[in-house]
Amino acid sequence: MKSVAIIGAGITGLTAAFYLKRQGVPVTVFESGSRAGGVIQSIRKDGFLAEFGPNTILETSPKIAQLIRDAGLESRKLATDPKAEARYVVRYGRPIEMPAKPLGFITTPLFTAKAKLAVLREPFIKPRRDGVEESIGQFVVRRFNQEFLDHAIDALVAGIYAGDPDKLSLPHAFPKLKALEDNYGSMIKGQIFGARDRKKSGEVAKDRAAKFSFDEGLQVLPDTLAAQLGDSLKLNTPVTKLTQTANGWRVIAASGEAEFGAVIYCGTAYKLAELVIEAVKKISNSTFSEISYPPVGAVVLGFRREDVTHPACGFGMLIPKIEGFKILGTIFSSALFPNRAPAGHITLTSYIGGARYPELGLLPEKDLIGATLADLRVLLGVKGQPVFAHTKTWPKAIPQYNIGYGKYRDLLKELEAQNSNLVFAGHYRDGVSLGDSIVSGANIAERVKQLL
């Protein structure tokens, strides 16, 4: 059986390696860093559990639940607390709960009567059929209005991409929204009439998908997959060059070189741009350096319960740019899962920077905490100082699927078509969520198995 090299030990690479190895395919995973898991990072300290990347996995595909079963982690899986479903969006300088039901939308103070009428009018707006690539911002203004963009979608985009709605591509960053208009002529009609198709595929919309983590945080998943790979995982081993051979690819890494039947690249787009690839047909991969990855700072703060006025018992709050705060949003971490904070305390996880304020994402730890605290004092009524504080800076956090992103996906397809047994998977291609990356890894494992 031919062996497979996997570059990158984030969740995509680990998932692909896990499934290939289960099917008897020899794998070697090359990771340039000192740990597996990529942006998934959990620490427990002083009774607090801090997450520095994603906080939950959305169970949008049956393949996600299957991985948890296959990895033997069902007993450690934790669903979010049913009482923590409330989501808040900041308006008028305070967090307002998002309506969970249609009647709530009619009465919510989150939107003016004009915005509510725009939503009721949306099913009657003609769909766009001219093939022009829109930003998510242009799409929302066209189908709803500016207020809906400024006070709802801008906040949502900050929570998913830490991005700019006027730059993010509708078909690439939010393909399912575009599909609703293409297939049903309306987002609201699509939500109603598309339920049958979603049920048939087994997929669940992200706003309805179950959310979960593990008893010791999300890092349980990559740690478990890495342990099952054993010596097949090579940490602190960056790959510098790929050379095509008659039977596959020669991988040149810090530890030496070896030949493989196939190579799966699961790293980042900016690292792909730096990788030297010698192939029969010349490969131009430097263009991937153009993909924007704005910096994001994660700030995890623990407080005595009595020092936070807001109940903080929902999922969290998102903050539109128009409100003038520095943080993008805050997750009420200790409300979601048990044992995230000591008794009588709460944990709040905030994010700062992104495409909105990239310079803030690179602030020193003291300034990150100070900026976050200043906003939390206003928004949640925080008093005093945190009893726990930990930060993590991601200088290049999330790839931005901006207008024109299709050229990068087209180039990846071209590279695969021209160079047999060299394939690409991960968040720069198949979606930026943790669930997207798991599905990407599972799918690429199936594909490569068929190539060998």
Closest CA to 340 of 56, 39, 65, 36: 56
E runs forming strands in 226-364: 233-234, 239-245, 248-253, 256-260, 262-265, 276-278, 296-304, 316-318, 327-331, 345-353
Q: Tokens 């991985």 map to which residue?
A: 67
Region 178-188: mean pLDDT is 93
371-414 tens-digit pLDDT: 999 999 999 999 999 999 999 999 999 999 999 999 999 999 99
The predicted model scores a pTM of: 0.94
Q: How many CB atoms lie within 10 A of CB 130?
A: 4
Mean pLDDT for the chain overall: 95
187-223 tens-digit pLDDT: 888 888 877 676 666 666 666 788 999 999 999 999 9
- Phi and psi torsions of 447, nearest 5°: -65, -45
| pLDDT exceeds cutoff 70 at 41 | yes
pLDDT of res. 204:
67
Distance, in Å, from the CA atom of 316 to the CA atom of 278, rounded to the nearest integer, reads: 48
pLDDT of res. 103:
81
At position 191, the amino acid (one-letter code) is: Q
| pLDDT exceeds cutoff 70 at 237 | yes
pLDDT of res. 173:
98
pLDDT of res. 202:
63
**Region for residue 116 given its phi and psi (left: phi exceeds 0; alpha: psi -120 to 50; beta: otherwise):** alpha
pLDDT of res. 207:
66
Q: List, in order, residues 6 or more apart from 59 with CB less than 8 Å away.
A: 65, 204, 209, 210, 211, 212, 435
| pLDDT exceeds cutoff 70 at 335 | yes
Distance, in Å, from the CA atom of 86 to the CA atom of 331, rounded to the nearest integer, reads: 11
DSSP state of 426: S
pLDDT of res. 209:
82
Domains of the chain by start residue, with CATH = 4-39+220-291+401-451 (3.50.50.60), 41-99+210-218+294-397 (3.90.660.20), 111-208 (1.10.3110.10)
Region 144-167: mean pLDDT is 97
DSSP state of 39: T
pLDDT of res. 205:
66
> 3-class DSSP state for residue 183?
helix
245-287 tens-digit pLDDT: 999 999 999 889 999 999 999 999 999 999 999 998 888 899 9
356-376 tens-digit pLDDT: 999 999 999 999 999 999 999
74-112 tens-digit pLDDT: 999 999 999 888 999 999 999 999 998 878 888 999 999
Distance, in Å, from the CA atom of 148 to the CA atom of 171, rounded to the nearest integer, reads: 19
| pLDDT exceeds cutoff 90 at 121 | yes
pLDDT over 70 for what percent of the chain?
98
